[in-house]
Amino acid sequence: MRGLLLPAAAWTTTGLYLLLASFGCSPTSEEATVTFNRDVAPIMFHHCVACHRPGESAPFSLLSYGEAKKRAGLIAGLTASRFMPPWQPERGSVEFQGERTLSDEEIQLVLQWVEQGAVEGDPADLPAPPEFTEGWQLGEPDVVVTMQEPYMLPADGVDIFRNFVLPIPVSAPRWVKAVELRPGNPRIVHHGLILVDRSRSSRRRDEEDPEPGFPGMDMAGAEAPGGLMVGWTPGKSPVVDERLAWRLESGTDLVVQLHMLPSGKPELVAPKVGLYFTEEVPRDRAFSLLMRNDEIDIPAGESDYLVEDSLELPVAVEILGIYPHAHYLAKSVEAHASLPDGGSRQLIRIPNWDFNWQDEYRYKRPVQLPAGSSIHMRYAYDNSSANIRNPNDPPERVRFGNRSSDEMATLTLQVVPEQPADAHRLREAVMRRRLEKDPDDWFAHSGLANALSAQGRVEEALLQIRKAIRLRPRHPEVHYNLANTLMVQGRIGPAIAAYERVLALEPDHPKAHNNLAVAFQRRGQLERAVHHYREQIAASPMDALPRANLGAALLEQGRLEAADQEFRHALVLDPNSITALEGRGDLARARGRLKEAERRYRHALSLELEAPGAHYGLAVILLARGEQESAVAHFRSAVKGDRTYLGTLDGDAWRMATHPDPEIRAPEQALVLATLANELTGQPRPKLLSTLAAAQAASGQFEQAAATMERALALARGGRAERYIPEFRERLALYRRGLASIEGAAPSSGANRR
């Protein structure tokens, strides 16, 4: 790439005047002498020495008068042009945290200092140099993640982007309040970006490359942690924000992308990442909203090529940060929001884009945007020979791509939706916008399916997943999404087939064995469920979830001691495992220890207000205690959180209505459960009506039982429940004779958690 600056020796007084004139600056002479110690050192200490000191990324130090005087002309020229300190956003349009800009007055002082001969001044005027924290800026991290072996950066070549995969050694999920990256060799590392990968796709890319990491700007399946933008640039301080702490799962990989500049000799690079945890569950969750336009094809010689995109927000959001991204040909970058009332808000404007100083920016005050606002991005590119940053001489045609020699146009916004559930609507809007531009974008179809499924729009989700599968039939994640959506629908058989397809494509998929086991457990195939839970544990021994789920399967088999062992092991790995806490509550209830069970359920609800298993178990205890109104509220919460508890309600109602043991039979409770189950379905179902009829008969309401059974029979004819018609007729005959159904019933299967 062609050089941007004259060599330091060229900064003579005459040359300086000419350069400053070209920037519209003209040094003025004043009677008072500007000195380094009194006037310039405070500017250097505040704005420059974070990088310009020994051991940091800048090529020379500015901690002393002698070091500054040797480069006085260079300093004056670079500050006057605002090339230094490096800060790209236009001053005054938007306020960001940590702005690295000099005021006009500070620039003028530096110019006068040089014009007047770069005088040192009275040593008594020199302020104490700033004190910097040695090592980690935030103190010793809770966990330090390092590379197993360093990467050797070649001596020569253009800028190099490389992604290093760092497995995270945590045995239980934790909330991360801050991340600090130490690049290891800051003189050759230009900037860094940190994402997380739960899919192992980055790990596979790393394994395919013989050297540490893998090349390029495409970070495989990695995503922004908790919707946050986490990175490093010289002089940048890490951000601590417990309000937006993100959940780190065991088995997750950090992916550190470094932009490195060869120095002329081989250099070792070994970044370290410090993680800082909090015990506080965050109040808010951030969402990473990505806008992009991939339709880039810039002809050679084109000096004003425009790329635009827009997105209408379906919900109100608070924007915390922004990260524009383009490559060498971009000359300006800007984004603004159009408001529903006709107003406009500037989000960022960079009139002189420099790829080498790209950064992510956090607003000093969050930007509030109402629903219906539209975000617009507009990037301009210069592929002519007049662009001194153009890497091609003569210019060449450049298209979209992830290599630095290609071009990109993306805008990432870190937003907090007004309501947490609105994140799914945001994701839907982003994916639909992508599909407007490219109907064959398999990733967008898959992402849209996830957003629709999370909103309960399951049929629409299945349509999108099947489109993704047609476009990428051998991608394991689309089959995994299909399986999960089928599970939400209660279509267990097809879900099992889809999970098995995932494992055929990716035998070590991080979650498929667990979810396949859940499917088998819901089908009552407990041995197969136990097998796949054990397979998941073997693949992810530090993951608490499959152990807790294994405990639930063993409990359902009546193996109480073995179940307790798995629940306890899960809680060692993750003391806040909701599934394990619910499981220990179920275990205590099975042993008749109702006070202990209630305590465990309430503990789980204190950690996760919507924990469906805890709601259900607590509801059973309250109902048995005669607290019907409170019990029904908890039953409703259980079904709202997990629809499979509708089946549990029905199973428990049947058991309480028909069990031969009078100590277990509880007609009044059965009637409450069966009535609620039928109410919550939204539409009548023959099997649930049959259970309601049994509960009515057990309570002596034979006329109502017969009427309910007749309704079940009518609905069963010609439908999926037609095979139950002979049983229904037998029960109807009993109810007409004033007899209740009394028979053995399998214990409630409960609901498994994913």
Residues 95-126 have pLDDT tens digits of: 998 888 888 898 899 999 999 998 989 999 88
**Which of 243, 278, 313 is the endpoint of a domain?**
278
Residue 436 belongs to some domain of the structure = no
Query: Which one-letter amino acid corresponds to residue 625?
Result: R
Closest CA to 473 of 427, 504, 496, 447: 504
- Domain membership flag for residue 30: yes
Structure tokens given for 235: 């002089």
User: Is 634 domain-assigned?
Assistant: no
pLDDT tens digit sequence for 148-198: 899 999 998 777 889 999 988 886 778 899 999 988 788 888 888 888 888
- CATH number of the domain that 353 lies in? 2.60.120.230
Q: Do 221 and 245 lie in a common domain?
A: yes
Query: Percentages helix, strand, coil for the chain, rounded to the nearest 5?
Result: 40, 20, 40
The answer to whether the predicted template modeling score (pTM) of the entire model surpasses 0.85 is no
Q: Which residues contact 571 (CB under 8 A, 6 or more apart)?
A: 544, 577, 580, 581, 584
Other beta carbons within 10 Å of 490 = 13
Mean pLDDT of 14-38: 59
User: How much is the pLDDT for 752?
Assistant: 39
pLDDT in tens, 29-85: 445 899 988 999 898 888 888 888 887 777 888 888 888 888 888 988 888 888 888
Answer yes or no: do 648 and 739 share one domain: yes
Residue 695 placed within a domain: yes
Task: Answer yes or no: do 68 and 162 share one domain.
Answer: no
Domain count, the chain: 4
Per-residue confidence band for 226, with pLDDT thresholds at 50, 70 and 90:
confident
- DSSP states of 375-424 as a string? EEEEEEE--STT-TT-S-SS---EEB-SSTTSB--EEEEEEEESSTTHHH
The string of pLDDT tens digits covering residues 239-261 is: 888 888 888 887 788 999 998 88
Question: What pLDDT sits at residue 168?
Answer: 86
| pLDDT of 469 over the 60 cut | yes
* Domain finish residue from 382, 403, 418: 418
Domain boundary among 418, 441, 456: 418
Task: Tell me: do 332 and 389 sit in the same domain.
Answer: yes
DSSP label at 33? Answer: P
Considering only CA atoms, give the Rg of the chain.
32
Question: Do both 112 and 148 map to the same domain?
Answer: no
Q: Which pLDDT value is given to residue 623?
A: 93
Higher pLDDT pick, 282 / 300: 300
How many other CB atoms sit within 10 Å of the CB of residue 117?
12
Average pLDDT of the chain?
Answer: 88
Q: pLDDT at position 749, please?
A: 36
* pLDDT, position 530: 97
With 90 as the cut, is the pLDDT of residue 25 above it?
no
Residue 406: give the domain boundaries. 287-418
Query: 254-258, 517-521, 536-540 — which one is most confidently predicted on average?
Result: 517-521
What is the predicted pLDDT for the residue at 564? 96
- Based on the domain organization, do 341 and 245 belong to the same domain? no
How far apart, in whole angstroms, are the C-alpha atoms of residue 533 and residue 559?
A: 15
Q: Is 697 contained in some domain? A: yes
Residue 59 falls inside a structural domain: yes
Reported as a pLDDT band with limits 50, 70 and 90, residue 751 is very low
Mean pLDDT score, 558-576? 93
Structure tokens at 179: 């991340």
| pLDDT tens digits along 131-152 | 877 778 888 999 999 988 999 9
Is position 507 within any domain? no
| pLDDT over 90 percentage in the chain | 58
Name the pLDDT band for 320 (thresholds 50, 70, 90).
very high
> Can you read off the two tokens belonging to residue 442?
């398999």
Residue 412's DSSP bridge partners are: 290, 323
Reported as a pLDDT band with limits 50, 70 and 90, residue 9 is very low
753: pLDDT strictly greater than 60: no
**How far apart (Å, rounded) are the C-alpha atoms in residues 189 and 83?**
19
Residue 1 pLDDT > 50:
no
Question: For the segment 353-381, what is each residue's pLDDT rounded down to a tens digit?
Answer: 998 788 889 999 999 999 999 999 999 99
Inside any domain, residue 270: yes
Contact 260, 269 (CB under 8 A): yes
Residue type, 184: G
Q: What is the CATH number of the domain that holds 206?
A: 2.60.120
